[in-house]
Amino acid sequence: MKKLLCLGLIIWGSAANAQQAPATATQEQGQARQFGILVGGTASQYDLCVKKGFLPKTDPSAEETAKSILMKMRTSSTGPDRSAYMQEGWDMIKKEVSEHESFYTQEKCSGVGKEWAKIIATMRKN
């Protein structure tokens, strides 16, 4: 839960930062990494919770859905390709998730399931 809170604070801080000044390439790269952490990381957490039997299996898997989301963003973007930075963020958080599998209890997975549902709902609106 603390990791999710920290992630939320990072994203909130970068959003506030982005509103104060025009984004530079480095800021945009950081935002792309954070997006990869949020979407890809939550998908990886969800699939881990499925593996542990705490959340229902989805078809396609959460990670497959996240890959699809990132691919759609890449192909529909009119600006520079930031997909490598999104993947970098996802890879980083996926490593953290795999190193801390014991952290994911029934209670934690319940929160992951709710967060994944929010992400999917938001992506469907766009």
In a domain, 92, yes or no: yes
In a domain, 83, yes or no: yes
In a domain, 105, yes or no: yes
> Structure pTM?
0.79
Q: What is the pLDDT of residues 30-39, one digit of tens each?
A: 999 999 999 9
Report pLDDT for 10: 53
| Overall number of domains in the chain | 1
Residue 121: give the domain boundaries.
34-125
In a domain, 108, yes or no: yes
In a domain, 2, yes or no: no
Q: Is the pLDDT of residue 13 over 80?
A: no
Q: What is the pLDDT of residues 46-94, one digit of tens each?
A: 999 999 999 999 999 999 999 999 998 888 878 888 999 999 999 999 9
In a domain, 25, yes or no: no
- The DSSP line for 56-121 is ---SS-HHHHHHHHHHHHHHH--S---HHHHHHHHHHHHHHHHHTGGG--HHHHHHHHHHHHHHHH
d(CA 126, CA 124): 5
In a domain, 11, yes or no: no
In a domain, 27, yes or no: no
